[in-house]
C-alpha cells in the first residue's frame, strides 16, 4: 500500500486503531475491545483531523502569534489555518494527506512530503511509524529538512482522551507557562506537579521540567503516556468531552521568544533530522 488512503485499520489483541491518512495522517480512534482509549468516532464520518482522536503537530506545535515570524533576517507570514483561531495552529502536517509507505496487520508507516508554501515556508519530510501491541501503541517520529537552507523545526503529538467519571491526570512537572488574554505564553512560574481529577483542572498551558511520563486513569482504563519529547501541553476545556495531554518538543510560540533554542525550537540544517518517540500503555481497571 503506497498511496494516500481513506482508512487503515490496525489490530493487536484487544486493541484496534483506525487511521485516516487522508486527514493529516490522524488517528480516527483507538479502542480496547469496544471502549474508546482516545476520543473515538466513526472514521468515515470524520471530516477533518480536528475531529480525530490524535494527530501529529509539525513542524511546530500549537500557536505562532501574530501569524508571522522572523528567521535568519527574513520575515515570514503564515496563513491562518484553524477556524476561530487568530493564529496559525500546529503546522501543516495535521491538515495534509499523508502517503502510506507500508502497512501490516499491527503496524503502519506514513509519510508527508511538504514543499514551501503559505502554511510553512520551508521544505520538510515527516514520517510516523505506528506499532500496536496487545497492551500499547508506539510511535516513532522523524522530521527532516529536505530544503537547501536552515529551517526551524519542532514536533508534537496531540491525543484527545475521553472524559469519564473520575478521570485523573498525574504528571511530574516543575514549571508552567502562564498565558495572556491572547493565549500566548508570557512567563514561567513554579508548578510542582499535576495530580487531580480532570473535571477540576483548568489548564491550557505548556509545562517544563516534565519527567517524561504521565498517568491517566478513570473508572475504565489505566494509561501511561511516555515520550522522549521534553515539554508537556495539557488542555482541559470545561465545555468539551475530551482533554489533551500532548508531548511536544518546544514551548508554544517559541519562535517569538528571545532565545527560541532555549525553549526547544531546533534549527535543522539541510539534510538534518529530528527524531522522537511516544508510547501509550493501555490497561483495563
**Inter-residue contact 252 to 60 (CB < 8 Å):** no
* Predicted confidence (pLDDT) per residue in 163-209, tens digit: 999 999 999 999 999 999 999 999 999 999 999 999 999 999 999 99
- What span, in angstroms and rounded, lies between the C-alpha atoms of 78 and 262? 23
Cβ partners under 8 Å of residue 161, min gap 6: 37, 38, 39, 167, 216, 223, 242, 243, 244, 245
Residue 58 has pLDDT above 70, yes or no: yes
User: Span 239-243, mean pLDDT?
Assistant: 95
pLDDT of residue 1: 39
**Inter-residue contact 243 to 163 (CB < 8 Å):** yes
Write down the pTM of the prediction: 0.96
- What span, in angstroms and rounded, lies between the C-alpha atoms of 52 and 54? 6
- In degrees, rounded to 5, the angle at the alpha carbon of residue 69 between the alpha carbons of residues 120 and 84 is 70
pLDDT bin (cut points 50, 70, 90) of residue 4 is: low
* Predicted confidence (pLDDT) per residue in 93-134, tens digit: 999 999 999 999 999 999 999 999 999 999 999 999 999 999
Picking from 132, 184, 124, the residue whose alpha carbon sits closest to that of residue 154 is 124
Q: Which domains does the chain have, with CATH numbers?
A: 8-284 (2.70.98.10)
pLDDT of residue 5: 63
Residue 149 has pLDDT above 80, yes or no: yes
Residue 25 has pLDDT above 70, yes or no: yes
CA 26 vs. chain centroid, Å, equals 10
Q: DSSP states of 121-149 as a string?
A: SS-EEEEEEEEE-SSEEEEEEEEEE-SSS
- What span, in angstroms and rounded, lies between the C-alpha atoms of 226 and 277? 8
pLDDT of residue 42: 85
CA 260 vs. chain centroid, Å, equals 19
Residue 2 has pLDDT above 50, yes or no: no
Amino acid at each position: 500500500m503506497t498511496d494516500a488512503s481513506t482508512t487503515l485499520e490496525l489490530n493487536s489483541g484487544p486493541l484496534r486503531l483506525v487511521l485516516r491518512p487522508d486527514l493529516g495522517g490522524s488517528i480516527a480512534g483507538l479502542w480496547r475491545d469496544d471502549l474508546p482509549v482516545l476520543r473515538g468516532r466513526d472514521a468515515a464520518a470524520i471530516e477533518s483531523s480536528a475531529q480525530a482522536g490524535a494527530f501529529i503537530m509539525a513542524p511546530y506545535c500549537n500557536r505562532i502569534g501574530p501569524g508571522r515570524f522572523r528567521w535568519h533576517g527574513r520575515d515570514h507570514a503564515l496563513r491562518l489555518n484553524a477556524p476561530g483561531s487568530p493564529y496559525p495552529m500546529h503546522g501543516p502536517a495535521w491538515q495534509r494527506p499523508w502517503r502510506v509507505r507500508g502497512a501490516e496487520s499491527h503496524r503502519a508507516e506514513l509519510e508527508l512530503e511538504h514543499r514551501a508554501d503559505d502554511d510553512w515556508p520551508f521544505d520538510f519530510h515527516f514520517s510516523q511509524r505506528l506499532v500496536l501491541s496487545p497492551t500499547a501503541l508506539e510511535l516513532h517520529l522523524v522530521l527532516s529538512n529536505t530544503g537547501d537552507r536552515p529551517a526551524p523545526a519542532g514536533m508534537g503529538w496531540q491525543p484527545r482522551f475521553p472524559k469519564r467519571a473520575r478521570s485523573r491526570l498525574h504528571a511530574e512537572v516543575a514549571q508552567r507557562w502562564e498565558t495572556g488574554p491572547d493565549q500566548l505564553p508570557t512567563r514561567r512560574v513554579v508548578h510542582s506537579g499535576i495530580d487531580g481529577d480532570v473535571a477540576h483542572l483548568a489548564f491550557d498551558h505548556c509545562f517544563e521540567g516534565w519527567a517524561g511520563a504521565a498517568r491517566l486513569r478513570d473508572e475504565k482504563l489505566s494509561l501511561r503516556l511516555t515520550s522522549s519529547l521534553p515539554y508537556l501541553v495539557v488542555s482541559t476545556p470545561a465545555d468539551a468531552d475530551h482533554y489533551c495531554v500532548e508531548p511536544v518538543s518546544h514551548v508554544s510560540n517559541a519562535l517569538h521568544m528571545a532565545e527560541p533554542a532555549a525553549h526547544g525550537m531546533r534549527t535543522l540544517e539541510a539534510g538534518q533530522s529530528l527524531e522522537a518517540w511516544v508510547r501509550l500503555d493501555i490497561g483495563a481497571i
